[in-house]
Structure 1
Amino acid sequence: MARRKRKTSGAAGTRNWLELPSDVTASILSRLGAIEILNSAQKVCSQWRNICKDPSMWRSIDMRNLGDREDDIVHEKMCFHAVDRSRGHLIDINIEYFGTDELLLYIAERSAHLKRLRLLSCYGVSEDALVKAALKLPFLEELEIFICDISKETMEAIGRSCPLLKSLKYNLEHCKSFPYVSDDEALGIAQSMPELRRLELLGNALTNEGLQAILDGCRHLEYLDLRQCFNVHLGEDLEKRCVERIKTLRRPDDSTHDYEFILGDPDTSPSYENFPFWWNF
């Protein structure tokens, strides 16, 4: 007996996306970045627009872009709008390339419960703004900063203002290693962030002294990334201490194949050719 074909609606059984439950549609749309939602998704129909206006859609804001500086002003305006839509419920935000002091302080003043902040190549953000914003973010648990360098004082101020901070990623975006030695940032971390569980310092200029301070001050540390930190020399005693204390240790010479930025040929020694453009100014 031949099987009876199941009836389908629409041309060739095409699903009508507008018939999906609102919570399912919201779940799908939430996987888009903020730029895609504001530029495209919310313009599809009135139903999608209403869903995109719900504050729950803006608990996490991903302003990911390709670094087109011509769109900085547009992206900043969109980010202001996205923060407004969150109505104080924002807990996670990622800003790439276009951040400014005004935007960062706007976020901090309206997002007191923010738990995660990521600033990628936001060279318009000053240390002063970072300090002022941190004062308004007491529940911050994860901080990612990809910029040039931060003073010891600024790092300490962030640590004091954000006592719940458990993860800090303070990595370099483009270069393999600084051509100088400095333990300032490491000492600032060690003296103000005792609750850290995860610390990434890829490409930092710290030395063994800075590493020792981190091990002394951050006693709950479980993950430590020291890749491309070529001023650190793990002798027998220091490496033993790291291995005994840290569950996952990534050493200075370890591969960077899983890092999101290109750092040059890992098989070559550090050279000034790998340093970012701003070092020449």
Structure 2
Amino acid sequence: MGENKWMGKRWEDMDTDVLVKIFKELNLVELSPVSQVCRLWRLACSDPLIWGTLDFGLLKSNFIQTRASPYIWVDDRSDKRLAKILRVAMAISCRNVNCLIFHYNLYMKDEHLHFISERSPHLKRLVMPAWNRITKVGICQAIQRWEELESLTMPTIGHPPYIMEEIARNCKNFTELKIMGSFDVQFASAISQNLPKLKVLSLRCSKVTIDALVSLLNSMEYLEALNISHCLLLEAAVNERRQVVHELDDQTLDKASRLREFHYCQSRSCIACQRMMVDEGIMRWYRYEDWFWRQDEVRSLDLQDYGKLFDVDCERLTSVD
């Protein structure tokens, strides 16, 4: 009898869709060598189904707070680690990343942002890290490249108009914004003037002035969803001091009720509301569970789980000793 020969497909001859299903179970560290096996595997490793969302929510900088601008010092090894991870991710993804999520305690620089924006031209959603080391020029140049951007989650910033202006000029499909920090009349005005067709706005766990909230409700004709859950609400300043508002007045509630979605919580029994009071309106996210900052009552803004690409094992394998 002749020898039985295996007639199945070789790995390098497998259908791309089968390879993609397999490679979706790998993290970034595991994908890197796999992508170098052959041309077919490289193509499968770069598939949009794998790279639609690149969640770096577990990636943080080693830093120390300082008194001088930019108010933090970052370990050089953290910067090198970030640069290396970004190089690998952007090389394999082949411009297929649609959603990028960064931890709020990741302190990237302009050069990192520039590298990312050049290699993710089809980005639709961005969850920004801390601003401290990102300049006005850096973020504006990045936004200019992200013409398809639809959603932005950002820490609060001292002078927001220029970012809203840049989004208005370049991102024609932009409809969704989440702000983490402080929200005042200046911020509200920047949004209403530059993003009048904004549909979704979340101010969850932020310090919000009542006059800013009223301004939004009066001016944002296309707004469909607003989240002010667990916010520290402050009334108009009297003698340069603002008092905490524990309940919205009926007129404001009536205007908000006309929205498709309005999320509002100021319950003394709510843990998130209690944390906002303890932190005096500026949430100290680092004090709490690492998933806490990722939550949102608006479903499209909730970050859910971390995904596979940069999971706990990947974070450990790329950590700085």
1:106 maps to a residue whose letter is: F
| 2:278 paired with 1:271 | yes
Aligned to 2:220: 218
Separation in 1 of the partners of 2:199 and 2:282? 29
Give 1:47-196 correspondences, 5 Å limit: 50-51=42-43, 53-54=45-46, 56=48, 57-67=50-60, 69=62, 71-96=78-103, 97-121=106-130, 123-145=132-154, 147-161=155-169, 162-172=171-181, 182-196=184-198
The one-character-per-residue Cα deviations of 1:111-145 (angstroms, maximum 9, x if unpaired) are 33321112234643234322222222222111112
Contact 1:108 1:136 in 2 (8 A): yes
Letter in 1 for 2:184: S
Name the CA shift for 1:255/1:84 in 2 (closer, same or farther; >3 Å): farther
Change in CA separation of 1:82 and 1:272 when aligned onto 2, cut-off 3 Å = closer
Flag the 1:139–1:265 CA change in 2: closer, same or farther, 3 A.
closer
**Can you give the 5+ residue segments of structure 2 that lack an aligned partner in the other structure?**
1-9, 63-76, 235-244, 286-321
C-alpha separation between the residues in 1 aligned to 2:14 and 2:94? 26
Amino acid at match of 1:124: R
> 1:218 offset after TM fit, Å?
2.6
Note the alpha carbon deviations across 1:208-238, whole angstroms, 9 max, x for none: 2212222233322221111233225521111
> Please, what TM-score do these two structures have when normalized by structure 2?
0.63
Distance in 2 between the 1:191 and 1:31 partners?
44
Q: Does 1:250 align with 2:252?
A: no
Q: Does 1:46 align with 2:60?
A: no
Take 2:173 and 2:268, find their aligned partners in 1: how far apart are those partners? Answer: 31
Q: Secondary structure at the match of 2:174?
A: coil
Q: Which amino acid aligns with 1:242?
A: A
Structure-2 change in CA distance of 1:274 and 1:222 (3 Å)? closer
- Matched to 1:76, the amino acid is A
Deviations 1:57-83 (A, max 9, x none): 445433332525354422332213422
RMSD: 3.6
Percent identity among equivalent residues?
20
